[in-house]
């Protein structure tokens, strides 16, 4: 698996430091509130777990599934949202937690979907932001890192369901996904 890596972009230590900083910012912004953190499966699970431990507030944690990639290296443009929502969103301060804001197609559809439940507030938190690929008019309220224009994996990000378990974020050798 490590032979498939072109370059490590963000080390474990750098990620840990940034996530701690993001958690402190959310803690400060949501004083007096109990935000609902909604992780976008599957990529956000590592980031959300670490981020939640850095937020010094009572918060609820839930997950939704949303994808526009499937097993491809590029977005299909068609978003599938797991609509079997079994939790209350009305009147809550919601933060959508995403691994990467890339084309924005998935997050824009998910934002519209969640907004339909009437939350008190709705913000987006993305560990990585790749604005060079943006197709939808959307930005994150909390961003960890600007992402290089490479196909990246690790720390929850995958290629065809592999590499999620890498403790760092790295670029994948192009011959593996081209």
DSSP 8-state class, residue 148:
-
Q: Is 4 a known active-site residue?
A: no
DSSP per residue, 4-26: GEEEEEE-HHHHHHHHHHHHHHH
CA distance 105 to 98: 12
Q: Residue 146: which of 9, 52, 5, 21 has the closest Cα?
A: 9
Phi, psi of 173, rounded to the nearest 5 degrees: -60, 130
Catalytic residue among 50, 99, 102, 158: 102
162 beta partners? 159
Q: Evaluate whether 119 touches 147 at the Cβ level (below 8 Å).
A: no
Which active-site residues does the annotation give? Answer: 102
């Amino acid at each position: 698996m490590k032979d498939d890596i072109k370059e490590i972009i963000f080390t474990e230590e750098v990620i840990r430091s940034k996530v701690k900083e993001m958690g402190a910012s959310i803690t400060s912004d949501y004083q007096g509130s109990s935000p609902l953190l909604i992780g976008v499966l599957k990529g956000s699970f590592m980031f959300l777990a670490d981020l939640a431990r850095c937020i010094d507030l009572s918060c609820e944690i839930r997950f939704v599934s949303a994808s526009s990639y499937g097993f491809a290296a590029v977005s299909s443009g068609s978003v599938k949202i797991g609509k079997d929502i079994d939790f209350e969103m009305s009147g809550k301060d919601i933060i959508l937690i995403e691994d990467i804001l890339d084309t924005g197609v998935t997050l824009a559809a998910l934002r519209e979907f969640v907004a339909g439940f009437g939350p008190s507030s709705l913000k987006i938190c993305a560990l990585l932001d790749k604005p060079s690929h943006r197709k939808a008019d959307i930005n994150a309220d909390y961003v960890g890192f600007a992402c290089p224009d490479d196909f990246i994996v690790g720390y929850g990000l995958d290629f065809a369901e592999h590499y999620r378990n890498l403790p760092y974020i790295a670029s994948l050798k192009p011959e593996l996904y081209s």
